[in-house]
Structure 1
Amino acid sequence: MVFDYFALSEAIAEVLRARQAGRAFAPERLAVPVPGGVLLAMPAADEAVAIVKNITVHPGNREHPVIQGEVLVVAAATGEKLAVLDAKELTARRTAAVSLLAARRLAPRPAGPLCVIGAGAQAKTHIEAFRQGLGVRDIRLVSRSRPRAEALAAALAGQGIAVRVLDEAAEAVADASLIVTVTTSPEPVFPDAVPADVFVAAVGSFTPHAAEVPASLVSRAALFVDDMASARVEAGDFLRAGVDWATVTALEDVPDAAPKQPSGPVVFKTVGHALFDLAAAKLACR
């Protein structure tokens, strides 16, 4: 069965509307340092369902997944356990759906070409989501590990998704209208030599000291985030560029219908939020 990323992006849009209406709630996530990584705890709830996602993130993992954990789903009214979901898979899919929602609303040229930098789980789900939700056909993949990129391209080919593996990010982004960065790199992973109407989803970094996107591109782009409070603390791509937060717009403040397309580059920074996990958990429990 093909996973429906479009439906999940709509579910995320709905939970953002619910938060604006005071019907969905989530505090800032709790982060606890552990050797080599961090433990994150993220609760969220609406009138129907409550969740707690507990995950560990170990960027240096090679023999084990970088992200591991689970999502407990309960009925909000009674506390009855409804499900325990794999946090790695849920996180990968809902993050791609958030990026898809942002691209649907904000990308000047949503049909591609698409360049994805990174070759892990998030690269796979973002390619699937953008192929399904936007219909992109020209897809390029860049990774510091070419064998890993080629393995991902082969797996996607089995789903009927053609991907070209390139060695140089500069070549891959030169005419791309969509760029997605899904790495653990603390430094920019592509040069600021991109089309004037590019849409960038910066996904991989979630600490104030890491930035996948060049500061010069951030400084001249229209800026958007998945969650304003979290981004102010964790969005290194914006913090290192010294952005004026008054110029940054939260995704929930972009209209659902016929939003005004920004002129020039668009950078959407996503650091994650428990409300997105709530949307994915509710969809999974249907």
Structure 2
Amino acid sequence: MSVSPASATAWPTPAALADEIAALLLDPAVTVPPRLVQPLPGGGSLFVMPAHDARVAITKLITYTPANVGSAWPSIQGDVVVFDVAGGQRLAVLDGPTVTARRTAAVSLLAARLLAPRTDGPLLIVGAGVQGRAHLHAFAQGLGVREVWVTSRSSASARALADEAGALGLVARVVADADAALADCPLVVTATPASGVVLRGQLPDHSFIAAVGAFTPQMVELDAALCRHVARVGEVVIDTPEALHEAGDLLLAGVPMDGLLTLADVVRQGGGRRRGPVLFKSCGWAGWDLALARAVAGMGSPITP
């Protein structure tokens, strides 16, 4: 089967996908080799990301082209190919950018469920692109957030995302100053191209930030002082051990990386109240793509080639 972005009924809900991600993190059959990142001429990268469990094997093959930001072409393009382990046959070809958006938002949703001191919102979304939209839907459907504040370097994009939130029945507003909004928004998502710092304000103790835009050692969304502050008075959690050498926000801030909890650690612990503000740093992992492939395969979608 081939599942396209428009095939809404073929995709799991954010809540169901978050549950599948939690289950995957407890599955001893899951194997995820290191991803291959091949630099391309012009500043782009080719990502090859395999993973498998006892039933399903996947390879995610995508390009990341930073120069496409703001153009007619998306910055992430490619596919996720899904295979049956027992018979070796191809089961599905999934749209890569849609997989990336949906699984990243579901990972953030799972982290917020387990780590956020407060989950009632308002939710502040910094960056109104594909990931901002995916997180809007995930947090609205999965946490029941009823109010969303949006800020973006593009006022038109911010307005469009706020309008989409309104169409979902949420109270929505566009704000110009993300730092000033931190005092009123206990839930924060930064989902930008990570070409520079977008958040540097003071965090209240009830804050939860999911930072998803930066996924290489050179990329950054968060001010170094903000990261060090959370590490000192709150808690920093990373999505996987690979983030220890990929999380530019933390590495460039000089945050001590030894002893940081991963999302798998938190799932095994069952979550629980954290001390002070929480920063969840997400860099991506083929295991998240495998979780979505498992969920799609389990839905028995009738879509055929």
TM-score (norm 1): 0.94
Matched residue type, 1:176: C
Cα separation, partners in 2 of 1:220 and 1:193, compared to 1, 3 Å = closer
Q: Cα distance, 1:211 vs. partner?
A: 1.8
Corresponding residue SS for 2:125: strand
State the Cα distance separating 1:214 from its structure 2 match: 1.8
Q: CA deviation at 1:13?
A: 0.6
Which range is displaced more, 130-139 or 83-92?
Answer: 130-139
Distance in 2 (CA, whole Å) between partners of 1:197 and 1:85 is 37
Aligned to 2:282: 270
Secondary structure in 2 matching 1:189: strand
SS at match of 2:219: coil
Which residue type is aligned with residue 278 of structure 2?
V
Does the alignment pair 1:251 with 2:263? yes
Aligned-pair distance for 1:158?
3.0
Q: Return 164-173 or 256-265, whichever deviates more.
A: 256-265
| Cα distance in 2 between the residues matched to 1:165 and 1:206 | 26
How big is the shift at 1:234? 1.0
- What secondary structure, in the 3-state scheme, does the structure 1 residue paired with 2:112 have? helix
Counterpart code for 1:164: R
SS at match of 1:119: coil
Contact 2:20–2:291 (CA<8 Å) still a contact in 1?
Answer: yes
Out of 21, 31, 52, the position equivalent to 1:25 is: 31
**Corresponding residue for residue 129 of structure 2:** 120
Residues in 2 aligned to 1:185 and 1:260: alpha-carbon distance in whole angstroms: 30
> 2:88 is matched with which residue?
79
Deviations 1:86-109 (CA, angstroms, capped at 9, x unpaired): 011111000000000000000001
**1:180 matched residue in structure 2:** 189
Distance 1:91 1:153 in 2: 22
Q: Distance in 2 between matches of 1:60 and 1:104?
A: 34
Range with greater deviation from structure 2 (163-172 or 42-51): 163-172
Specify the alignment match of 1:225 in structure 2: 238
Secondary structure (helix, strand or coil) at the match of 2:227 reads helix
* Match status 1:52 vs 2:65: no
Query: Retained in 1: the 8 A contact 2:150–2:161?
Result: no
1:164 correspondence with 2:173: yes
Select which of 254, 262, 281 maps to 2:293: 281
> What runs of 5+ residues in structure 1 fail to find an aligned partner?
none
Partner of 1:135 in structure 2?
144
Q: Describe the superposition over 1:174-217 as per-residue Cα deviations: whole angstroms up to 9, x where unpaired.
A: 32101100001332212222212211111001111222112222
**C-alpha separation between the residues in 2 aligned to 1:101 and 1:118?**
20
CA drift of 1:258 comes to 4.6
State whether residues 124 and 187 of structure 2, in contact with CA within 8 Å, keep that contact through their aligned partners in structure 1.
Answer: yes
Equivalent residue for 1:200, pick from 209, 217, 227? 209
- AA paired with 1:58? T
**C-alpha distance 255-70 of structure 1, shift in aligned 2 (>3 A):** closer
Structure 1 window deviating more from structure 2 (266-275 vs 153-162): it is 153-162
Instruction: Say if 1:112 and 1:138, in contact at 8 Å, map to a contact too.
Output: yes
Matched, 1:40 2:47: yes
Identity %: 45
Please report how far the alpha carbon of residue 247 of structure 1 lies from its aligned counterpart in structure 2 after TM superposition.
Answer: 3.3
Equivalent-residue separation in structure 2 for 1:157 and 1:197 (angstroms): 25
Task: Confirm or deny that 1:16 pairs with 2:25.
Answer: yes
Partner of 1:63: 72
CA displacement at 1:256 relative to structure 2: 5.1
TM-score (norm 2): 0.88
Q: Give the whole-Å Cα distance in 2 for the aligned partners of 1:67 and 1:97.
A: 18
Shift of 1:60: 2.2
Farther off after superposition, 118-127 or 258-267: 258-267
Name the aligned partner's letter for residue 181 of structure 1: T
How far off its partner does 1:219 sit? 1.4
